[in-house]
Structure 1
Amino acid sequence: MHQVLKSLKHRLPFELKVPDYIRQEFLQESVRKNNFSLKIICGIIFATELFNIARVLFWSRSGLTTRNNQIYFSMYCILILFGVLWLVVRHPLQRAPAGLQWVVQSVTTSLILLWHMVLNTYDLYRDPAAGTTVLTTALLGLSLLIQLPPFYNVAQSAASYLLFRIMMAPLMDAGDRLNLTITFLVGLAVSLAHAHHTCITLKQQKQIVEINTKLQELVQLDPLTGLLNKTAVECWAEQMLQEAEHTEKSKGLTLFLMDLDEFKSINDRYGHPCGDHVLTETAEAMRRAFPHAAALGRVGGDEFAILYDHSLSEAQATDLSHGLLEQLEKIQWENQPLKVRCSIGVCICSKAPCCYQNLYTEADRMLYHAKKNGKCRCCIQQLSCGKNTAPEKNCV
């Protein structure tokens, strides 16, 4: 059996194994579909077998007095019991892991298939001309309604066919055996096509999610530096401020605005490739200098923003600014130091509610103040509830 399955795995035009990256989604989708399908199957079982029980009890002349009717009556009751047991365990089973749910579903469908095989075998023992309608209907119905991973489809079909050869084939002529063999193959093909289609759908859904994620990143990121763009910085800040308003112990917010000093002269002297290099290296310097920042962004040509989701002390803001200045001094072009400098404006909102526009206005005012007073320095302003509470502080 193992060799047959291994041979099939290499010869079939598609993989018998669900790819790892969609395996959990495939399992969950199978459980969802099978839950619905088993409800339909149970409804058919109850309607059909209750009719058969009534036929044995009330419309048969011998009732339960004959051995034959007793066997049929017992078989009908057993199938109804399978349906009842499934419905009983179905609701508590929904809280179990998807893997366990799938195992119970697989066992249930295997028992239903086995029941039809046993009943059809008994029919053939009683009357060799009875045909295989019972098993054929079950095979095609379960193939259409129940979804299994491809490899388990092949394994279950192979095991079922082996049982058929042992139990039923000796009672059938060559034509009937061939017809039922074809039915097994058709059922297997339908099941595999069903599972293959689900895999393709899940792969496409995964790809769409990944594409949307990448597109979202492209919308939010500055293409040159990889930092957030101006709109994304504003959105992040507004979101942080909204979260702070709904928190009892607000942590505030800190916004750094940084502008490169004499950036135009660098462009004029070394060319725009050098200017782009300075901007990308500035982004890297920011990542090193502000490793714990909530967001880093480029909000203009050579203007950058750094967001912290809590209020820093003036000493902390000063130390971080000095760290950035030190990182910028390391930037070189063609092994030559460029002496890149920057001016920094900082606005610290120590308590909600604050709005981003106020933060940005104050940080920009501090940046202007730093530029006006000699550049290469940091000026800090503290806000509380949108109001100034501390004087400006210059840091060289």
Structure 2
Amino acid sequence: MKKDVSMMRKSMNAIRHSLLSYLQIPGYIRQEFLHESKRKNDVSLHIICVVIFVIEFYNLARVLLWSKSGLGTQNNRIYFSMYCTLILLGVLWLLLRRPLRQASVRCQCAVQYTVSGLILLWHLGLNSYDLIRDPAAGVTVLTTALLALALLIQMPPWYSIVQYVISYLLFQFIMAPLLDGGSRLNLTITFVVALTVSLAQAHHTSVTLKQQKQIIEINAKLQALVHLDPLTGLLNKITVECRAEQLLFDLEYTAKHGGLTLFLLDLDRFKVINDRYGHPCGDHVLVETAEAIRRAFPDPAGLGRIGGDEFAVLYDQPLTEEQAMFLGQEFMAELRSIQWQGQPIEVQCSIGVCICTLPQSSYQDLYTETDRMLYQAKKSGRGQCCVLKLKAPENREIEMAGAKE
């Protein structure tokens, strides 16, 4: 017995959870939902206003021109006033559309929901008056308005529930006493259908936006995989090359930058670390080296891993030799903090730097010169930073610095 009660509670909780999820717009797509609702409702209300003008101006002409009594009877004056009221509501909406564009999306949607609610109330009032005059008039006016607004106006589920419940209560209070049982049942079913259509429309839009969001996120991840090194999260070799080529293009054709600076960083004796501690430790060192690069090189144009244990740092400006050497020494100091399983590891790095201010330089030339500086640093005893300022071939300056212990 207890097991049956427990299963029943679980089933009820599952149903309640499903119902609540159906009636809620997730927070991460709520803004997109409002934007989409605003766009749809703006078009729908514009169409509704055109229909209102056509129908109600025809009704005004019918009262003024084709009715024998014109405005001489109270009945005609009431109808005339109601037609004018709906036309004024449409005109008011059209006048509000442009200034409303400066307001927040939430405010614009609120005005749209208010206008659609007033249109529904107007039809409820008109149909009520028709029934007071003639009990056989039927409920076509209200039925049409209910289904049309449910199809054309999109709003969050709870807004729909509030609007249609209030309208239904007003119907029960005003119109139901004027109708027979069958008509009351039919109009009740129409209210339920209209609410269901409105909720289904909101749910469909919510699902579509969720799918679009997921597709965007998947595309972003795929795009990141194209440009990023999967282990370190730095740019990959091709992306570094593309960025450098773009900066060289800017230097040559747009004078957008005064030059650029390329660092090549190569870990010393990385194979020894792999052999001594194993490849998991080697991967850990590469990841920690990437973090050290992020800390030591502020505001770069690009940080990348371009080989097994070789990294690149790109600046979109020509640093001075002093600045380049200072950054190199800061990075080598950061490497000293790398540990494996709580024990410090001696990680060193050689750095080659090339500062380029020459137009018409290619990335291959820049890379070759920087790699030459890297080789010079390794040849000088490793743990060194060697800097070249790329000038005319006959006038090149080289500076070298070691890691400060």
Please tell me whether the aligned partners of residues 348 and 381 of structure 1 are also in contact (alpha carbons under 8 angstroms).
Answer: yes
Q: Distance in 1 between matches of 2:252 and 2:174?
A: 73
Give 1:159-178 correspondences, 5 Å limit: 159-178=166-185
Q: Distance in 2 between matches of 1:11 and 1:289?
A: 50
Q: Distance in 1 between matches of 2:109 and 2:193?
A: 23
Structure 1 residues 231, 168: CA separation in 2 closer, same or farther (over 3 Å shift)? same
Structure 1 stretches lacking a partner, 5+ long: 1-7
Q: Distance in 1 between matches of 2:17 and 2:119?
A: 30
Give 1:193-208 correspondences, 5 Å limit: 193-208=200-215
Give 1:100-249 correspondences, 5 Å limit: 100-241=107-248
Q: Percent same amino acid at aligned positions?
A: 63
Cα drift, residue 135 of structure 1: 0.4
Q: Distance in 1 between matches of 2:84 and 2:338?
A: 83
Structure 1 residues 56, 246: CA separation in 2 closer, same or farther (over 3 Å shift)? farther
Please tell me whether the aligned partners of residues 41 and 152 of structure 2 are also in contact (alpha carbons under 8 angstroms).
Answer: yes
Q: Distance in 1 between matches of 2:223 and 2:32?
A: 23
Q: Distance in 2 between matches of 1:206 and 1:244?
A: 38
| Aligned with 1:31 (options 38, 42, 49) | 38
Q: Does 1:347 align with 2:347?
A: no
| Aligned with 2:384 (options 377, 381, 384) | 377
Counterpart of 1:284 in structure 2 is 291
Please tell me whether the aligned partners of residues 9 and 16 of structure 1 are also in contact (alpha carbons under 8 angstroms).
Answer: no
347-356 or 38-47, which deviates more = 347-356
Secondary structure of 2:351's aligned partner: strand
Q: Does 1:47 align with 2:54?
A: yes
Counterpart of 1:3 in structure 2 is none
Q: Distance in 2 between matches of 1:14 and 1:199?
A: 11
CA distances 1:264-292 after superposition (whole Å, capped 9, x unpaired): 34334444334333322322332332244
Counterpart of 1:88 in structure 2 is 95
Cα drift, residue 340 of structure 1: 2.5
Name the count of aligned residue pairs.
Answer: 388
88-97 or 288-297, which deviates more = 288-297
Please tell me whether the aligned partners of residues 257 and 316 of structure 2 are also in contact (alpha carbons under 8 angstroms).
Answer: no
Counterpart of 2:315 in structure 1 is 308
Q: Does 1:298 align with 2:286?
A: no
Structure 2 stretches lacking a partner, 5+ long: 1-14
Please tell me whether the aligned partners of residues 250 and 351 of structure 1 are also in contact (alpha carbons under 8 angstroms).
Answer: no
Please tell me whether the aligned partners of residues 9 and 15 of structure 1 are also in contact (alpha carbons under 8 angstroms).
Answer: no
Secondary structure of 1:392's aligned partner: strand
Q: Distance in 1 between matches of 2:251 and 2:182?
A: 77
248-257 or 131-140, which deviates more = 248-257
Secondary structure of 1:394's aligned partner: strand
Structure 1 residues 222, 12: CA separation in 2 closer, same or farther (over 3 Å shift)? closer
Cα drift, residue 229 of structure 1: 1.0
Q: Distance in 2 between matches of 1:327 and 1:228?
A: 20
Q: Does 1:364 align with 2:371?
A: yes
CA distances 1:284-326 after superposition (whole Å, capped 9, x unpaired): 3323322443422110111110122332221121122122223
| Aligned with 1:391 (options 387, 394, 397) | 397
Cα drift, residue 341 of structure 1: 2.2
Secondary structure of 2:120's aligned partner: helix
| 1:225 partner amino acid | T
| Aligned with 1:70 (options 72, 77, 83) | 77
Give the TM-score of the pair, scaled to structure 2.
0.87
| 2:236 partner amino acid | N
Counterpart of 2:9 in structure 1 is none
Q: Distance in 1 between matches of 2:249 and 2:103?
A: 37
Q: Distance in 2 between matches of 1:271 and 1:20?
A: 46
Cα drift, residue 170 of structure 1: 1.1
Give the TM-score of the pair, scaled to structure 1.
0.89
| Aligned with 1:255 (options 238, 258, 262) | 262
Counterpart of 1:5 in structure 2 is none
Please tell me whether the aligned partners of residues 255 and 306 of structure 1 are also in contact (alpha carbons under 8 angstroms).
Answer: yes
| 1:168 partner amino acid | M
